[in-house]
Copies of this chain bind each other. A is one copy, B any other.
Amino acid sequence: MSGGAEFELIRHFRARVPQHPAVELGPGDDAAVVCTPRGERVVVTVDMLSDGVDFELDRVDTRRVGHKALAVSLSDIAAMAARPLAAVIAVLLPRRGGMEVGRRLAEGFVPLAEEFHLALAGGDTNTWDGPLAISSTVFGTLGPRGPLTRGGARPGDRIVVTGAFGGSILGRHLDFRPRVAEALHLQADYTLHAGIDVSDGLAIDLSHLLEESGCGAVLHTAAVPIHDDARRLAREQNDGRSPLDHALGDGEDFELILAVPAAEAERLIADQPLAVPLTVIGEFVAKLGLFEADPAGSHRPLAVRGWEHRFEE
């Protein structure tokens, strides 16, 4: 879910999907939460990846494509602080060479599933005259603290992120490790109010979280961890976009943005309990909108850039 979506159409769907008593959390978060008749809460997310949009099949190792297809869904599971349980994967294989593509995709799925103790429970294999497309559905279960949603951030909470941002197109977007263990660890040991993973871009995904939480945020842009890839990309492209622009806008970092109460954020930063660094990059505020703090201490609106699909009507 999420990820380069046509937001207007999604809003259209959300307004028309009937309410259902089993749905504890429906469209609009990183994953849905559905309650079974026996009271088990199942977290479920689906992602569709396609050649030319999410990867270029003729330019990369097909195993990396398989890895990415499953990893993006695991990242949604991580954003809910859920434990992965099982996946079903459907593929549309190009007719020419499709058998070999299928085999190599599986070589990407299987090691990742093993690493995350995820059952590959089933799938659907088809061929067609079009390009490769892969749909990955992952199910997970919840611990006693329940799902980490987009909707719980409160004014005063700190914006905490894992890792560094920008330039994932240089290769990280295919090879990243979803932050599943990190999210479970943090949710078990600290109070977290809200979370989202960064697929569309740090600024745009933060604004998605703000929308669901009904608050605003002030970003200390100088504190945003900039990935070396963002610096390299800015240098190589030399198109006026700074490393910070890349960090805020590129997307597909698949890091976590968390809303953490101020005192708890202080403890978290002091502890640094993960192998990946945790950084405070700003705070949530009551005033709606996304702002950046300038050196003089005042706030100005931050332009939100990120990946968006476009239709031609």
**Contacts A34-B139, A125-B13, A129-B52 given; does A310 touch B20 at CB 8 Å:** no
A186 at the interface (CB under 8 A from B): no
Q: Is B44 in contact with A121, judged by CB distance below 8 angstroms?
A: yes
Contacts of A127 in B (CB 8 A): 6, 309-311
Q: With A16-B110, A48-B90, A139-B34 given, is the CB distance from A123 to B1 under 8 Å?
A: yes
1/0 contact string of A109-129 vs chain B (CB within 8 Å): 010011001111111111111
A46 touches B122 (CB 8 A): yes
List residues 22-47 of chain A with CB under 8 A from any CB of chain B.
22-23, 26-27, 31-32, 34, 36-40, 42, 44-47
From A140, which residue of chain B is reached at the shortest CB distance?
B36
Does A135 have its Cβ within 8 Å of any Cβ on chain B?
yes
The residue on B at minimum CB distance from A50 is: B128
Q: Looking at the complex, which one of B8, B22, B34 makes contact with A99 (CB distance below 8 Å)?
A: B8
Interface size class of A (residues with CB under 8 A): 35 or more
Complex Cα gap A139–B23 (Å): 12
Query: CB-nearest residue of chain B relative to A72?
Result: B124
| Chain B residues within 8 Å of A26, by CB | 119-122
A-B contact pairs, 14 of them (CB 8 A): A6-B126, A9-B103, A16-B110, A20-B86, A20-B117, A27-B122, A38-B40, A44-B86, A45-B88, A50-B126, A52-B130, A97-B313, A99-B313, A130-B131
Further contacts, 8 of them, CB under 8 A, given A32-B88, A36-B141: A1-B88, A13-B102, A23-B86, A27-B121, A46-B137, A52-B129, A99-B311, A135-B135
